[in-house]
Amino acid sequence: MTWQLRLYRVKDGELDEWVQEWRELVLPLRLARGFDVRGPWLSDDGRFVWMIGHDDFAAADAAYYDSSERRAMEPDPVRHLADTKTILLEDL
């Protein structure tokens, strides 16, 4: 399985809105698309952190972003993010 550790710095004052939209929009669609989702957590430096995995991550991720459900997310939840970092992890 391929995993991504995702670390997001949310814009000041927008964490509650981001978490709500992530829980109501992003998370259910990721789960419906077969992703294994771990987290979320809030790091000691205030970053929103979560881990997402899939057996065929690249294809599944592309299909997620190309889906009509993801394109219909308006306004886009990503507007709350000031900075993102993704770390790719592979099972041994």
Q: Which fold has domain 2-90?
A: Alpha-Beta Plaits (3.30.70)
Q: Is the pLDDT of residue 92 over 90?
A: no
Q: Give the chain's mean pLDDT.
A: 96
Separation CA 9–CA 81 (nearest Å): 6
pTM of the model: 0.91
| DSSP-derived pairing of the beta strands 81-90 and 48-54 | unpaired
Q: Which residues contact 50 (CB under 8 A, 6 or more apart)?
A: 6, 37, 38, 39, 40, 41
Q: Is the pLDDT of residue 58 over 90?
A: yes
- Residue that has been written with the tokens 């771990």 in this structure: 38
